[in-house]
Amino acid sequence: MLSPPLTVAQFTALGPAHSGYTELVEGRPVSSPAAAAGHNFACGNLISQLAAQLPAHLRVTYAPDVDLELAPPDAPGFVRRPDVVVFHRGASDPVRASEVVLAVEVLSPHSHYTDRRAKRLDYAEARIPFYWLVDAASLTPLRLTQEGVFEEAPVATTTYETRDPFPVRIELDQLVD
């Protein structure tokens, strides 16, 4: 028998998954395989570069639960776990989408479709203002428009430099081993 859909609070109360990680989509837990070493290396190096350049009111972390705030608290919820998240200091746990400044997905062979399509739509609906897709030594920056869709900027392949959402310079060749 299928268990009933979960709210964000019920999902959070389950605690961490034992293998890989779990997200919540329309109240249903969704598992994903554990990330490979190269993926984790890229995430760690990206976090190091971001942390050194963040304004004092922001924090960066690896794969936190993000309540997309797409459903009322008593309804089946949505929790995604971006690879890297920049959010406001003092954010709640789980982090709420309204506290997120930037979500980053480092693409893996098993995550291309989800990261490029499903999460792009989810993050746009959750009104996360900036979304980056990192693939090997390239970065595709996306910015949320007033219409609520992501607009892609040109892909960066050596260095990515921007002033929004904060001044930052990312050396992409340092993300991979």
Q: Residue 69 corresponds to which tokens in the numbers above?
A: 């705030």
- Any bridge partners for residue 12, and if so which? none
Q: What letter does residue 137 receive in the DSSP assignment?
A: T
Cβ atoms < 10 Å from Cβ of 38? 14
Enter the CATH code of domain 36-65+81-174: 3.90.1570.10
Residue ranges of domains in the chain:
36-65+81-174
pTM here is 0.93
Q: Are 120 and 131 in contact (CB under 8 A)?
A: yes
pLDDT tens digits, 93-137: 999 999 999 999 999 888 878 888 999 999 999 999 999 999 978
Q: What is the structure's pLDDT at 20?
A: 66
Q: What is the chain's alpha carbon radius of gyration, rounded to the nearest angstrom?
A: 16
pLDDT tens digits, 37-81: 888 999 999 999 999 999 999 999 999 999 999 999 999 999 999
pLDDT tens digits, 157-173: 999 999 999 999 999 99
Phi/psi for 124 (5° steps) reads -65, -45
Q: Are 42 and 176 in contact (CB under 8 A)?
A: yes
Phi/psi for 121 (5° steps) reads -65, -45
Please give the Cα distance from 150 to 130 (Å, whole number).
Answer: 8
